[in-house]
Structure 1
Amino acid sequence: MKAYPTAAEYLRHHRPERPVLALRPHALARAADWFVANFPGRVLYATKANDAPPVLAALAEAGIRAFDVASLPEMERVRQVADAELYYMNPIKSRSAIARAYGDFGVRCFAFDSHDELEKILAETNGADDLTLFLRIACPNTHSLIPLEGKYGASAEEAPALLLRARQRATRLGITFHVGSQAVVPAAFGEALTQVGQLIVSSGVLVDAVDIGGGFPARYPHSEPPGLDCYMEEIVRAADALAVKHSCELLCEPGRALVADAEAVIVRVDARRGNALYINDGAFGALFDAAFSGFRFPVRCVTPGREDLGPADRRSRFYGPPADIADYLPGPFVLPERIGEGDYLEIGQVGAYGRVLANRFNGFGAFDEIVLRDEPMLSMFGERQRDDGEDARSIRL
């Protein structure tokens, strides 16, 4: 991909017909550096958030050495760019996928949340004696903008027997959970870790690892969470209270927080009707979350020569290109009054889930791709973050 200083500089030389995904690798590196230095344990990247090869390669180069994968295609993508450890953390898997993960991709870490799934893993790995097994437990998602509870997770009643059975077969045993996507309250992790501590005591089963999952937030116009240092303080406080703190490894699976601000999409305005702008990407492209999850994204005009369009005070809504009323992005997206047909807009914070949720509905969904060297419109890794020089990578519970 060719690199440009800014989106406007790219547009001085091109008038793209298709929307353009603009990657900022330096933002990826900065986020990865922060997590590796500040999380008190091992950082896994949640590949589902963005599995583009340049993204995976940039994260690996920045020090991410483990990846949370949910499918064989994700394993194949990671293996193309990184010699990393793979964690198969999808709690329900097909038998053939388990066998291939173990035999072809060297996966030794598997999640489960039921007796059936545990026995399936044991059977399809031929009773292997080198497995790390993580019991996924259910936990409340009350502090997240996108709750993920209900689909996976063993209940408090089921968990003790599952831990005991897995302890008999696993080389290493862990517990994992997920507090929901875009967790906006740091206490979400503390409450879940307290639940883990109670389970360890009540079951009488020692564990070797606790994986706190994902849920770390990014910044959006509608969501300004506390700095990530606040999350780390809460995690360290709650983890320190675990009975197994001296012998237990801590892991996390950030996705959104690592990649959200590293990618933007440049779109063209094809029509304007009042406060409605019709653009060439939308709900079935990189802007899924704006249509179906109620997200607002930062937006600015990047048309060369139209930098001075007045104050950004018009509350606009967007429609995407397919002929379907579901392709509606209510926003509001705040732009200058004079935005109109032919203008190009940069829409930020689409690095998480934008690319992977795009499809080819109505024949749309193809993107050009470039690299940008300037800063994203929003970031969790600016002056709001504490940088006291402490490297917590080697800290264990």
Structure 2
Amino acid sequence: MDVFTSAAELLRHRRPERPVLALRPHAAHRAASWFFANFPGRVLYAAKANDAPEIIQALVDAGISSFDVASLVEIERVARINGAQLYFMNPIKSRGAIARAYRDFGVRSFAFDSDDELDKIVEETGGAGDVDLYLRVACPNTHSLIPLEGKFGVSSADAPALLLRARQIARRLGLTFHVGSQAVVPAAFGEALRQIGQLIVTSGVLVDAIDIGGGFPSRYPHSDPPELASFMDEVVRAADELAVKHNCELMCEPGRALVAEAESVIVRVDARRGNALYVNDGAFGTLFDAAYSGFRFPARLVATTRRRQKPVAEFALYGPTCDSSDHLPGPFVLPACVREGDYIEIGQIGAYGRVLANRFNGFGEYEEAILTDEPMLSMYAGAEEPAVVPLKRA
């Protein structure tokens, strides 16, 4: 893959017909190193967030060896990594997926949130005694931009009976929860951990691990969360209050926080109508969240000719498909002079951008390149990577 210092340098060499996925593996490496240095436990990568081999390799080079996987496809992909430890944390799985994960790929860690799912795991692993079980507990998602509590998770009222049953089966027993994607208030993790602590006391069941899930935020024009250090401070305070703190492993599953900064997309303006720009990627491509999740992404004009960058204006974007829902309201703040043939770099799409892109109308094909400059926005700017990765946390 070609390497350039910036999008501007790339465009000095060629004018791509397709949108370009611009990878910044160094940003993923820096983010993972920060988590290793600051999270007091095991760091898993939520593999669903970005599957680019270069990004995965950067995370592995930083020390990531544990992965949250949600499907057989993700398992097959991650299992190729030497020494990878796989955690099948989708709370509802097919019987065939459970059996193959256990038999063919050596997966020994499974999440569940009901008696039925626990039955499936026991039956499809043949009642094996080497299975680690993680009970997914529902918790409020009031502090996140993308709530996730509606689909998975047992209630606190029903959890004690499931915990007691699983304790008699599991080699290691854990609890897991998710505060929602792009959690913007550190207290979200403290509140959930206190709920978990109360559940442990109420049930009388000791657990070996607590997985606080993902939800750690990245930075966007519409969402400027506190520093990640404040989230870690909240996690440490709440974890220290747990009755099982001395013999219970703490885990997390960041996805967005590790890879959002590690990729941008370079799009071409194919038409301008007032303050609407028609570009060659959109809602059915890497910019799904800009259309359907209310996200705003940073954008900058990468002009191929010298022009004044002031004044600026607010623009909406339309993607290349024939569907009118291929609309990205933004606003995207760009120089008012933007016109057909210009290129725009849209940042922070490393989390879920490429994995949500599809081939509707025959679009969805991309060129790829590596950029070595800084992301447009960062939670880690100025952070120093540790000289030695603490492997015990991987």
| Class of the TM-score when normalised by the shorter of the 2 chains | over 0.9
Residues 1:60 and 1:392: Cα distance change in structure 2 (over 3 Å): closer
Matched position secondary structure for 2:80:
helix
Instruction: Give the equivalent residue in structure 1 for 2:356.
Output: 357
Aligned position for 2:276: 276
Q: CA deviation at 1:55?
A: 1.6
The residue aligned with 2:337 is 338
Deviation of 1:304 (Å): 3.0
Alignment check: 8 A CA contact 1:38 1:392 kept: no
Distance (whole Å) between structure 2 residues aligned to residue 217 and residue 394 of structure 1: 24
Aligned to 2:370: 371
Identity %: 70
Secondary structure of 1:44 counterpart: strand
- How big is each residue's C-alpha offset from its partner over 1:91-129, in whole Å with a ceiling of 9 and x where there is no partner? 000001000000111100000000010111011011111
The residue number in structure 2 matching 1:317 is 316
Aligned-pair CA distance for 1:393? 7.1
Aligned residue in 1 for 2:152:
152
Report SS of the residue matched to 1:37: helix
Alignment of 1:193-342 (within 5 A): 193-306=193-306, 308-311=307-310, 313-342=312-341
| One-letter identity of the residue aligned with 1:378 | L
Equivalent residue for 1:382? Answer: 381
The aligned residue for residue 176 of structure 1 is 176
Amino acid at match of 2:103: G
Where 1:154 maps in the other structure, the secondary structure is coil
Identify the range of structure 1 (309-318 vs 253-262) with the bigger mean alpha-carbon deviation. 309-318
User: How many pairs were matched up?
Assistant: 393
Q: Note the 1:88-127 alignment, pairs <5 A.
A: 88-127=88-127
Give the structure 2 partner of residue 2 of structure 1.
2
1:71-90 residue pairs with structure 2 within 5 A? 71-90=71-90
Is 1:42–1:393's contact at 8 Å kept on the other side of the alignment?
no
Q: How many angstroms apart in 2 are the aligned matches of 1:343 and 1:146? A: 32
For the aligned residue pairs, the C-alpha RMSD in angstroms reads 1.6
- 8 Å CA contact 2:44, 2:254 repeated in 1: yes
Residues of 1 paired with 2:127 and 2:179: CA distance?
Answer: 32
> C-alpha distance in 2, partners of 1:28/1:386?
13
> What is the distance in 1 between the residues matched to 2:386 and 2:14?
43
Task: Specify whether residues 351 and 126 from structure 1 end up closer, same or farther in structure 2 by C-alpha distance, changes over 3 A only.
Answer: same
Preserved CA contact (<8 Å) 2:209 2:250: yes
Q: Give the superposition deviation at 1:311.
A: 2.3
What is the distance in 2 between the residues matched to 1:51 and 1:75? 12
TM-score scaled by structure 1?
A: 0.96
Once residues 96 and 337 of structure 1 are traced to their aligned partners in structure 2, the CA distance between those partners, rounded to angstroms, is 55
Shift, 1:290, TM fit: 0.3
**Which letter maps to 1:48?**
K
Structure-2 change in CA distance of 1:238 and 1:386 (3 Å): farther
Matches within 5 A, 1:34-73: 34-73=34-73
The question of whether the paired residues in 1 share the 8 Å contact of 2:285 and 2:354 is answered with: yes
Do the aligned partners of 1:229 and 1:386 also contact (CA within 8 Å) in 2?
Answer: no
Unaligned 5+ residue runs, structure 1? none
Look up the SS of the partner of 1:317 in the other structure: strand
Partners of 1:157 and 1:379 in 2: how far apart?
Answer: 40
* CA 78–393 in structure 1, closer or farther in 2 if over 3 Å, else same: closer
Query: How high is the TM-score relative to the length of structure 2?
Result: 0.97
Counterpart code for 1:381:
Y
CA distance in 2, matches of 1:159, 1:84: 30
Structure 2, unmatched stretches of 5+, are none
